[in-house]
């Protein structure tokens, strides 16, 4: 399956959904992994960075959406829908 990806607002970080149901953040210049945002329990289908590059929203097959802080490298809010 295709995995979503995005750049932060400054173009300094590359974010991608991993097969481990997480978002991996990389430094564009060095290629080194900066951090990994974990919390989903199934594939991430949607990954979008907000306009100022401080947050990323993810949507997963686990029926949750999460808003992550790119400054603190952590989840700020998550929403769950029981199916």
Distances in whole angstroms, Cα of residue 45 to Cα of each of 3, 12, 24, 39, 65:
7, 23, 14, 14, 10
Confidence of residue 75 (pLDDT cuts 50, 70, 90): low
Asked whether the beta carbons of 48 and 6 are under 8 A apart, the reply is yes
What is the pTM assigned to this prediction? Answer: 0.84
6-62 confidence digits (pLDDT tens): 998 888 999 999 999 999 999 999 999 999 999 999 999 999 999 888 899 999 999
């Amino acid at each position: 399956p295709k995995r979503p990806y995005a750049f932060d607002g400054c173009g300094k970080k590359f974010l991608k959904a991993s097969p481990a149901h997480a978002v991996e953040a990389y430094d564009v210049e060095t290629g080194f992994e900066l951090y990994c945002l974990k919390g989903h329990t199934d594939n991430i289908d949607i990954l979008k960075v907000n306009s100022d590059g401080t947050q990323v929203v993810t949507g997963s097959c686990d029926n949750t959406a999460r808003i992550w802080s790119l400054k603190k490298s952590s989840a700020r809010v998550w929403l769950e829908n029981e199916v």
